[in-house]
Amino acid sequence: MSPSCDFLVIGSGLAGLLSAHKLSALGSVCLLAKKEASEGNSQYAQGGIAAAVDPGDDPSQHAEDTLKAGAGLCNEEVVRLVVGDAPARVRELADLGVHFSAKGGPPDLGLEAGHSRRRVLHAGDATGREIVQALLKRCREDRGVRLCEGHVAVDLIRDSGGSCCGAYVLQRATGSVRTFTARATILATGGAGKVYIYTSNPDVATGDGMAMAWRAGATLANMEFVQFHPTCLYHPQAKSFLISEALRGEGGKLVDREGRNFMAGLHPQAELAPRDIVARAIDSELKRTGEECVFLDMTHKSADYLKSRFPTIHEKCLSFGIDMAVAPIPVVPAAHFFCGGVRTDAHGATSVPGLFAVGETAHTGLHGANRLASNSLLECCVFAERLFGHLSARRELWEQRPISPPPDWNPGKAVKSDEAVVISQNWDEIRRLMWNYVGIVRSKKRLERAFHRMELLNREIDQYYWDFLLTPDLIELRNIAVVATAVIRSAMARCESRGLHYTLDYPQPVESERHDTLLSRFSV
């Protein structure tokens, strides 16, 4: 029999775990995880969560920093709502068992790029892991939460009235597709860093929620704004390991191979300029010199300090023979965070009835054209609470909705593939194409090349999808193709440079272009 529940939560990062925990007070919850429940972007978040908790700080200052970083595209109402709720959400996390680093009594607040003062709460340099483990423990204890690990969502299901009523889901262990029905479906699948060949994201970050929402007819917004983190560890054996912005907050300097600090004079905040500026500066330096990396110098700090403040980073660097106390860390930019996503209102509702989105999957208007550091974990917490409050107050949206069993998954004439090389070939081609043509610096010519190539790839992937039985790799390939195409379309539509979108053809912001880029499957 098909599993049914009141709330189907797809994704087990911070947004999914906290939403599931809260919604279990209202009804039954199925929480789906692609692999192990702890695997996702949230687990690897190093920096922390921003909140104006210091007596000398104020949410209005936090809001101004967020608006400034967002380069004119933030929804100011949402910004003030989120930062105003931040202290309460941090207290809630502490009540749920999250232990933030502290100096005696008050929290040890970090400074990150774009912030005008220290306001980033952290758990050493492994904040995400601390939060995920605490919430995962809660969800495992919640009787109303059924945790399904190793379940890969394939597509959303809409009923005859157009409302979302669940999803088709591939079970890794059996290879069978199960039907999960629900009165409300929540997308919390995180971002899509794996659309690019160089990323700080884990392997599960393939834009599944964005792609499924697109296919279901939901509106995507601002997909052109992809944040490239300036500093990912550069080493032949290192994979997707982030060197936190918090190091630059503690005085780290970006230098070339000769030790020259190339950020000096480029921006008043130098290394603590917004991420888009720092990433472009590094990209320009690499293109100018032909080098494969630049370096982050932390040698002004003692070994004892680095071990205690950044234990995870210190240990990882040592494992590759890099002692950050005596030598600079080799770093390169990498795709990190999607400021765009499934368009939602201030309660997480999408344009499809019965479908909600929270976390990086969603576009709430908080980040604008560039995310302020450590606002992402905050967004997850605030919108999990707002979603819960909305569904609690508006029970008519879901409580009386009948759960009618949709048709079982029909594989048609699909057979087991003997050409899996098609998946790996297209996967690699899309990611390299996106890096080369739709990366940190773009141009009309590069985008047109990418668009025409993606048209061919989409046709090939679509044919393969219908011809062969589903595998997790095929599902993810199909999803990164959708997201890549959405990023290209959105970038082509924005004839200016703003925030994270920088194009050689339109190097300045244009006031008439100061609007969200909206995409719908039915308007293409």
Q: Which residues are catalytic?
A: 275
Q: Which two tokens stand for residue 376?
A: 């992402």
Q: Where are the beta strands (DSSP E) in 77-150?
A: 120-121, 145-148
Q: 522's torsion region: left (phi>0), alpha (psi -120 to 50) or beta?
A: alpha
Beta bridge partners of 338: 226
CA pair distance 30, 245, nearest whole angstrom: 35
197, 230, 340, 356, 489 from 435: Cα distances, Å: 6, 14, 18, 30, 15
57, 221, 232 from 443: Cα distances, Å: 41, 21, 24
CA pair distance 262, 264, nearest whole angstrom: 6
- Give the DSSP H/E element, type plus range, for residue 233: strand 226-233
Burial class for 336, CB neighbours closer than 10 Å (0-12, 13-18, 19+): buried
Instruction: Say how many C-beta atoms besides its own lie within 10 A of residue 460's C-beta.
Output: 14
Is residue 499 a contact partner of residue 225, using CB atoms and an 8 Å limit?
Answer: yes
* CA 201 to chain CA mean position, Å: 8
Query: How large is the C-alpha radius of gyration of the chain?
Result: 22
CA pair distance 260, 256, nearest whole angstrom: 5
Closest CA to 241 of 301, 329, 340, 109: 329
Instruction: Say how many C-beta atoms besides its own lie within 10 A of residue 414's C-beta.
Output: 14
Q: Which residues contact 511 (CB under 8 A, 6 or more apart)?
A: none
Amino acid at 402: P
- Give the DSSP H/E element, type plus range, for residue 296: strand 294-297
- Give the DSSP H/E element, type plus range, for residue 335: strand 329-338
CA pair distance 199, 194, nearest whole angstrom: 6
CA pair distance 94, 135, nearest whole angstrom: 11
CA pair distance 365, 128, nearest whole angstrom: 23
Beta-strand relationship, 49-50 and 355-357: unpaired
Is residue 342 a contact partner of residue 362, using CB atoms and an 8 Å limit?
Answer: yes
CA pair distance 440, 227, nearest whole angstrom: 8
Per residue, what are the HEC states of 138-183? HHHHCCCEEEECCEEEEEEEECCCCCEEEEEEEECCCCCEEEEEEE
